[in-house]
Structure 1
Amino acid sequence: MERLVADYLIETPLPLDEVAAMMAGEQSSGTFVRVAGETDELRARSAAEVTSIEQLAETPEAALHSAYLERKDISGPFRRARVSIAFPTENIGRNLPTLAATVAGNLYDLGEVTGLKLTGLTVPSDYRARYEFPRIGIEGTRRTTGVVGRPVFGTIVKPNVGMRTDDIAELVDRLCAAGIDFIKDDEICANPNIAPLSERVPAVMRVIRKWREKTGRQVMVAFNITDETDDMRRHADLVAAEGGSCVMASLNWCGLSAIQTLRAHTPLAIHAHRNGFGGLSRHPLLGMSFQPYHVLYRLAGVDHMHVHGTGGKFADTAQDVAEAARACLQPLSQVGADDRVMPAFSSGQWAGTLERSLTAAGSSDLMFMCGGGILAHPNGAAAGVASLHQAYEALSHGRALASAASDYSELATAMAFFGSR
């Protein structure tokens, strides 16, 4: 029987084997008591199976409150454990929201646990093949941008909001002149009254086409089309009609179904922005880790995935970022087309953090996006872009940036300006 495996970190004052069995039953064929119709044959066909339990430390205090345990007058110690459960894929079919509801869903609300985090999700190859693959992916992104053998250097339209369409088009023009590879909207600028997509997309794409005709290079622009699902399809059609190559969506606020619908509708690259993911992940005993999260959205068919950045402005550790980037660069299965996605590093990045990003990914197959790291360079955006190229040139020859800066004026200025912050 084909099964997918979900891994959890749990905390409970109750016997671990009982709680794990209850989790498996709750999310497959059972409930808190056996019911009519729940035959042995049905259970053999559809019940989830606990495949492993690894007991960890005990703690006197619960991570989360449970009114259920309070009513039962059950207290600590609270045991923590890693639990793996295998779920029959035929319970789910090709149904991504139900897959999410199965491996997560009501488990978070179970009274028996005082902590539960989904930490891993592994899908069998045949089951993975039922879902969408990236339309563009890593190789397609490289073909579109013409970038070979190095990271894709990108930036974000800044200020975040408030610029009019003409201002944005003028900024894009300066960035194209500076030699940028990739430009994305900020996650909070989608379809504002001051610069609606109906105006912004044609204006920006006129600039992109101008520079393509002049240089032969096409800068990839990820237009933020986050919206109601039908509107997202309409926005994507506009981008495609104007010759664009990429759209962006805020995953957590659109949801799995909307991203699936968008993927089925458009051949454009989908730049997956994970804003809000911290609300799912930052508590050590609640929510889900990046690995299962990104599996769900990779099954929806995205092409790029944000992983934040090392040494940036967010809370992620260097290990968090490295694990996320490397997960993106691993295939989910060996069946079908290449389903790897390009990790997108961002948040407080500049030339001096490039080395950490390359180390984290273990590859140059990444997007390295600098907002302030380009647009706030003291000598302008062109110097900001140049500093990235200079940093990569130095690192690819095994040189430390501090010593290489003496040979590169833009890198030296970046080191002095951003390095002091």
Structure 2
Amino acid sequence: MTAQRITATYRIETAYPLQEAAETMAGEQSTGTFIRLPGETDEMRELYGAHIERLTELGEVEEPSLPGAGVPKGSGGKPVWRRAEVELSWSLDNFGPSLPNLVATVAGNLFELRPFSGLRLLDIGLPEAFAARYPGPKFGVEGTRRLSGVEGRPLIGTIIKPSVGMGPEATAEVARVLCEAGIDFIKDDELQADGAHCPFEARARAVMRVIEDQAQRTGKKTMFAFNITGDLDEMRRRHDLVLELGGTCVMASLNSVGVVGMVELGRFSQLPIHAHRNGWGYLSRSQELGWSYVAWQKIWRLAGADHMHVNGLQNKFCESDESVIASAKACLTPMFESKPCTVMPVFSSGQSARQAPGTYAALGSSDLIFAAGGGIMGHPDGPAAGFASLRESWEAALKGIPLDEYARDHPALAKALTAYAS
């Protein structure tokens, strides 16, 4: 296999012979259809057809995981459902280094093919041509640290809450309290965009006045990720306004703006892009269907994301801790020799001072954003103490000191451990 081939690895479940099932996948997503066609020569299939690079049986299951799957003729009403791992490859010449067409190829009609009662995309491998074509993150870990002024520890942040309902001045007041607490990072909730009760421009101007005032007094400029999600022209206008006002981050909802929207935003943005994954569950929650995060995040990193959400340990959602850490490690793993494309993972969802040691021990890195809503805003002594408790918990984690021990001389941490006891 040459460096000019794209690879994709899948876990499949089927009642059909595994080789036949894999050949169905390869044909559907390249030269063929359900029957051999006139003009579909052996030479064409060799050059442009998807190749089966590897097929590894994983075992049998008692019943199909998903409804609607077919069974082969002659099964006598007693099909055997097998799982396997399949790696397919395609010539780069099929569609060139194009992210939209990559998605259509590795994650197109496959998911609805009748022979399969399960099909999940586990990983993709891309040749260097993609690194040459797409910008990747312009800021990533290094640029985010430079703009925030935070080194040697995670950025600690929060989300404006309530998510919606507050006007521009009320939002700015929340930002003021957080900035005075010394927080590193604040973001709009993904539900807050440009509604009539809180127009984007008015919100951005009000919040940036607060941030600039605080920066003038203390020298610390809080990074605020303004949600610019919208049509392309709207995102450009909103980005330009944030840049003009001295802001240092914008946010976009990946599944809302799509691959092309993120590619274009990545090309014109002069600020770090905080990429929110809301909607991720419909792509991933069934373990027998959809995408793994390891594969999915590569698309958005190439498109230009600088920060990517990965959930958090002991989160409020359905994702396991093992999956969260695997996602975060993927974000920090280089994609190409010529262009690492590493991005800063964002831990969020039900986070508090309690998760810092486990997060650091599992990830082995402090290159992350640790975002807590209630973990900061709900502290018994207020947001300043909430932020302090997270700072102290990460100090303890980085020094290898148990939280209970560190809390003896750190009151904010001590109260957080009591308040957020499980």
Give me the TM-score of the superposition, normalised by structure 1.
0.96
1:322 aligns with 2:325: yes
Bigger Cα displacement from structure 2, 124-133 vs 171-180: 124-133
Instruction: For residue 138 of structure 1, report the CA deviation from its aligned partner.
Output: 0.4
Which amino acid is the alignment partner of residue 49 of structure 1?
H
SS in 1 for 2:197: coil
Q: Find the aligned partners of 2:116 and 2:248 in 1 and give their Cα distance.
A: 46
The correspondence for 1:362, drawn from 348, 361, 364, is: 364
Q: Find the aligned partners of 1:396 and 1:70 in 2 and give their Cα distance.
A: 56
Which amino acid is the alignment partner of residue 171 of structure 1?
V
8 Å CA contact 1:12–1:114 kept in 2: the answer is: yes
1:135 aligns with 2:135: no
8 Å CA contact 1:19–1:112 kept in 2: the answer is: yes
Give the corresponding residue for 2:116. 113
Q: Deviations over 1:108-138 (max 9, x none)?
A: 0101111101011121234333222101110
Unaligned runs of 5+ in 2: none
Bigger Cα displacement from structure 2, 132-141 vs 62-71: 62-71
SS in 2 for 1:356: helix
Give me the TM-score of the superposition, normalised by structure 2.
0.96
1:218 aligns with 2:221: yes
Give the corresponding residue for 1:398. 400
Instruction: For residue 182 of structure 1, report the CA deviation from its aligned partner.
Output: 0.5
The correspondence for 1:349, drawn from 343, 348, 351, is: 351
The correspondence for 2:13, drawn from 7, 11, 14, is: 11
1:150 aligns with 2:153: yes
Aligned pairs for 1:165-184 (under 5 A) are 165-184=168-187
8 Å CA contact 2:351–2:373 kept in 1: the answer is: yes
Q: Find the aligned partners of 2:56 and 2:71 in 1 and give their Cα distance.
A: 23
Instruction: For residue 395 of structure 1, report the CA deviation from its aligned partner.
Output: 2.1
The correspondence for 2:290, drawn from 271, 287, 294, is: 287
Instruction: For residue 323 of structure 1, report the CA deviation from its aligned partner.
Output: 0.1
Q: Find the aligned partners of 1:52 and 1:335 in 2 and give their Cα distance.
A: 27
- Report how many aligned residue pairs link the two structures: 419
Taking structure 1 as reference, are residues 71 and 377 closer, same or farther at Cα in structure 2, changes over 3 Å only? farther
Instruction: For residue 70 of structure 1, report the CA deviation from its aligned partner.
Output: 9.1
Give the corresponding residue for 2:235. 232
SS in 2 for 1:335: coil
Instruction: For residue 305 of structure 1, report the CA deviation from its aligned partner.
Output: 0.3
Percent identity between matched residues is 47
8 Å CA contact 1:155–1:371 kept in 2: the answer is: yes
Give the corresponding residue for 1:32. 34
SS in 1 for 2:356: helix
Instruction: For residue 69 of structure 1, report the CA deviation from its aligned partner.
Output: 4.0
Instruction: For residue 291 of structure 1, report the CA deviation from its aligned partner.
Output: 0.7
Which amino acid is the alignment partner of residue 204 of structure 1?
V
Q: Find the aligned partners of 1:397 and 1:114 in 2 and give their Cα distance.
A: 48
Give the corresponding residue for 1:21. 23
SS in 2 for 1:204: helix
Taking structure 1 as reference, are residues 166 and 380 closer, same or farther at Cα in structure 2, changes over 3 Å only? same
Which amino acid is the alignment partner of residue 25 of structure 1?
G
Which amino acid is the alignment partner of residue 202 of structure 1?
R
Q: Find the aligned partners of 2:133 and 2:97 in 1 and give their Cα distance.
A: 6
Q: Find the aligned partners of 2:84 and 2:198 in 1 and give their Cα distance.
A: 51
SS in 1 for 2:133: coil
8 Å CA contact 1:321–1:360 kept in 2: the answer is: no
Taking structure 1 as reference, are residues 23 and 350 closer, same or farther at Cα in structure 2, changes over 3 Å only? same
Q: Find the aligned partners of 1:224 and 1:59 in 2 and give their Cα distance.
A: 44
Unaligned runs of 5+ in 1: none
Instruction: For residue 359 of structure 1, report the CA deviation from its aligned partner.
Output: 2.2
Give the corresponding residue for 1:93. 96
RMSD: 1.6
Give the corresponding residue for 1:410. 412
Q: Find the aligned partners of 1:309 and 1:72 in 2 and give their Cα distance.
A: 48
Instruction: For residue 255 of structure 1, report the CA deviation from its aligned partner.
Output: 0.9
Q: Deviations over 1:14-49 (max 9, x none)?
A: 110111011111111111122232223222221111
8 Å CA contact 1:13–1:76 kept in 2: the answer is: yes
SS in 2 for 1:14: coil
Q: Find the aligned partners of 1:39 and 1:132 in 2 and give their Cα distance.
A: 37
Give the corresponding residue for 2:65. 63
SS in 2 for 1:56: strand
Give the corresponding residue for 1:247. 250
Bigger Cα displacement from structure 2, 339-348 vs 59-68: 59-68
Give the corresponding residue for 1:209. 212
Q: Find the aligned partners of 1:110 and 1:333 in 2 and give their Cα distance.
A: 32
Instruction: For residue 243 of structure 1, report the CA deviation from its aligned partner.
Output: 1.2
